[in-house]
């Protein structure tokens, strides 16, 4: 465990807005959490837990206490002829885990390539892309509970995964230390996403081909955070009922939507924002990406509050035009 004071967080989250941690603690191994728990009472009420910082927007000038998971490993837990269970430390970069699985010819996470997340955040946000969610491969999630002062294990049923949600979002006392995912050894390509379907059509792509294509799609749509600060998709795609969709399609016949379940549909937030005229909009150094309207960006020196102000203007605009309420996908601190 390493403890530092007055640490800049500019390079520790992907929006790269300036902010300082009064105390910054690196967790290198699980036993560090026991020691931390002894030294700080009710730490979960005071601290912010961060991984790669790809799911947050920091709007404050400083945070009192930030704890970063640096538990980094990947290992096989169990395997047979058809399945394999892989474990990764909470501080492991998600895409490093995906790359490891693809290189070993294990199916399940290839569509989630390129997501700039840590493995600890994957179950909290139920990260997802191109027709796949973390919930599809989740097996067990391990964490330290600062309320019970014990290590705990969670199954997918415990966490009630849904669209960009899990119960962990309402459990600030849990510090995720590692995850286990269940993968297939037999080919099971998921080509439900339109761009993947168009790319491969009747072809049976390899794992590496799917990964490369997903990375290419992401590169074309999402700015690299080390070049332009962003957190990927800033807003969730709104979910509506069949009746609500019928009302919208009567008013806006070209509205973009996708089936989510038997009676629910996702409205494309990107379509709503672009039709409302926000794509490419810039206000100082806060803006909307020119390549994808769902991505808010920091062109250099925007504050978190600048980006939040822009986000709120977009929310109000979309609500006024379409009577649809956008919700942020990122966590706002």
Max CA distance (Å), the chain: 60
- Which region, left, alpha or beta, applies to residue 8 given φ > 0 means left and ψ of -120 to 50 means alpha? beta
Choosing from 113, 117, 118, 233, the catalytic residue is: 233
Choosing from 110, 133, 180, 329, the catalytic residue is: 329
DSSP codes, 6-53 = EEE-TTSSTT----EEEEEEEE-STHHHHHHHHHSTTGGGT-EEESSS
What does residue 164 show for φ and ψ, rounded to 5 degrees? 55, 30
CA dihedral for 116, 122, 127, 128, sign (positive or negative): positive
211 is catalytic: no
C-alpha 113: how far from its chain's center? 12
What does residue 301 show for φ and ψ, rounded to 5 degrees? -120, 25
Strand (E) or helix (H) holding 256? none
329 is catalytic: yes
**And the tokens for 171?**
């459990």
192 is catalytic: no
Burial class (CB in 10 A: 0-12, 13-18, 19+), 163: middle
β-pair type (62-69, 20-27): parallel
* Among candidate residues 178, 183, 121, the one with its CA nearest the CA of residue 152: 178
**And the tokens for 316?**
């109000």
Residues contacting 309, CB < 8 A, separation 6+: 283, 286
Choosing from 140, 164, 211, 218, the catalytic residue is: 164
| Residues known to be catalytic | 164, 233, 329
């Amino acid at each position: 465990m390493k403890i530092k004071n007055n640490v800049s967080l500019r390079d520790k989250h992907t929006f790269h807005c300036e902010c300082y941690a009064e105390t910054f603690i690196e967790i290198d191994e699980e036993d560090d959490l026991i020691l931390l728990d002894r030294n700080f009472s009710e730490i979960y009420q005071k601290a912010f837990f961060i991984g790669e910082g790809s799911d947050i927007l920091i709007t404050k000038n400083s945070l009192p206490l930030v704890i970063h998971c640096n538990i980094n490993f990947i290992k096989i837990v169990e395997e047979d002829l058809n399945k394999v269970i892989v474990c990764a430390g909470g501080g492991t970069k998600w895409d490093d885990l995906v790359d490891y699985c693809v290189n070993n010819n294990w199916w399940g996470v290839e569509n989630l390539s390129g997501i700039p997340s840590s493995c600890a955040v994957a179950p909290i946000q139920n990260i997802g892309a191109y027709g796949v969610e973390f919930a599809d491969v989740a097996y067990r999630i391990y964490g330290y509970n600062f309320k019970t002062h014990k290590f705990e294990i969670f199954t997918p049923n415990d966490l009630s995964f849904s669209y960009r949600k899990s119960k962990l979002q309402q459990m600030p006392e849990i510090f995720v230390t590692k995850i286990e995912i269940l993968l297939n050894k037999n080919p099971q390509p998921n080509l439900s996403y339109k761009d993947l379907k168009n790319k491969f059509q009747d072809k049976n792509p390899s794992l590496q081909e799917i990964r490369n294509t997903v990375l290419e799609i992401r590169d074309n749509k999402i700015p690299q955070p080390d070049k332009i600060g962003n957190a990927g998709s800033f807003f969730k795609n709104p979910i509506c009922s069949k009746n609500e969709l019928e009302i919208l399609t009567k008013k806006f016949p070209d509205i973009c939507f996708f089936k989510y379940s038997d009676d629910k549909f996702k409205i494309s937030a990107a379509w709503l924002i672009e039709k409302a005229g926000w794509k490419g909009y810039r206000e100082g150094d806060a803006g909307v990406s020119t390549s994808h309207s769902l991505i808010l960006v920091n062109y250099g020196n925007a504050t978190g509050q600048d980006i939040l102000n822009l986000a709120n203007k977009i929310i109000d605009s979309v609500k006024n035009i379409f009577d649809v309420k956008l919700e942020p996908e990122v966590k706002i601190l």
